[in-house]
Amino acid sequence: MVSGTVRAAAAAAAIVTVMVSVRPAAPRAQTPPAGQGGAAGSVATGRMLYAKIGCETCHGPDGRGTAAAPRLGAGGLQLPAFIAYIRKPAGSMPPHSAQVVSDRSLADLYAFLQATPPATQPAQAAASTPAGRVDTGAAIYRKVGCFQCHVNEAQGGANGPRLGPDPIPYARFAQYVRNPTGEMPPYTEKVLSAQDLANIYAFVQARPRPPALNTIPQLAP
C-alpha cells in the first residue's frame, strides 16, 4: 500500500516536471529598428556626430538654434519625422542621404538633441559675416573652378545652382562648402582658408541683380 502510494506520487511529480519543461517560453521583447519611432540612441555618440557633420555651424553647439537656423532640441519632431526631414529638408539645408549618415546614426543624433535641456535664454545670434574682399573673392572663385558649375557671375547654370545675389547665410554657405552633397567636391581649409571663403562670399554677395524683364527689348511685352 505504501509502496503503491510512493509510486503514484513519483509519477505525478514526473508529469509536473514534463509539463513545466514543455511550457512555452514568454515572448522576448522586440527592439524596434532604428527609424521606427522606438529605437533608443546613444547620447554620447549623437553628440560626436552632431559636431562631425557640422550641425552646430547653423543650429548652435547644443541644437538650441541661432539666427541662421531653428532650434532642434527636445519637444520637436518625432524620430521618424526627424529622419525624413534630414533626408529631404526644406530651404537651404543640404540633404543627408543614408550613405552619408545612417538611420542608426540619426537615432543617436536624435537622442542627443532630446537630452538637451531647453534654453533658459534666447539663442545667441549667429556670428556675423566675416569681412571679405570682392576683387580677391572673384579671383579665388575662378581659380578654384567655382565658375565651371555656378557660371561666371554665380548666377547658376545646368550643373550648379545660383549663388548670388542674396546668398544663403554665411554660416550655411561655409558649412556646405566644407561638407557638400551631390557631386560637388568638399573644399577643406587646406584648399580654401576661412578668409578665402569670406572673400568668395563677398564676391557672390556683390553680384548685381539681373535686369527686369520689361527692360530687355527682346523680352518686353
pLDDT by 10s per residue, the chain, length 221: 445 544 544 444 444 444 444 444 444 434 344 444 445 789 899 888 888 887 877 787 778 777 667 778 766 788 998 899 889 887 677 788 898 889 999 999 999 888 877 655 544 444 578 899 999 999 999 999 999 999 999 998 888 888 988 888 888 888 889 888 778 899 999 999 999 999 999 999 999 988 887 888 887 77
pLDDT at 120: 54
pLDDT of the residue at 106? 92
* The predicted structure's pLDDT at residue 46: 87
Nine-digit cell string for 14: 514526473
Q: Using CA atoms, how far apart are residues 101 and 87, in angstroms rounded to an integer?
A: 9
Looking at the chain, the domain(s) classified CATH 1.10.760.10 span 43-115, 134-205
Return the DSSP state at 157.
B
From residue 138, alpha-carbon distances to 33, 131, 176, 200, 210 in Å are 49, 14, 19, 7, 18
The hierarchical CATH code for the domain 43-115 is: 1.10.760.10
* Domain 134-205 falls under CATH 1.10.3470.10: no
Q: CA 12 to CA 192: how far, in whole Å?
A: 84
The rounded Cα 116 to chain-centroid distance in angstroms is 17
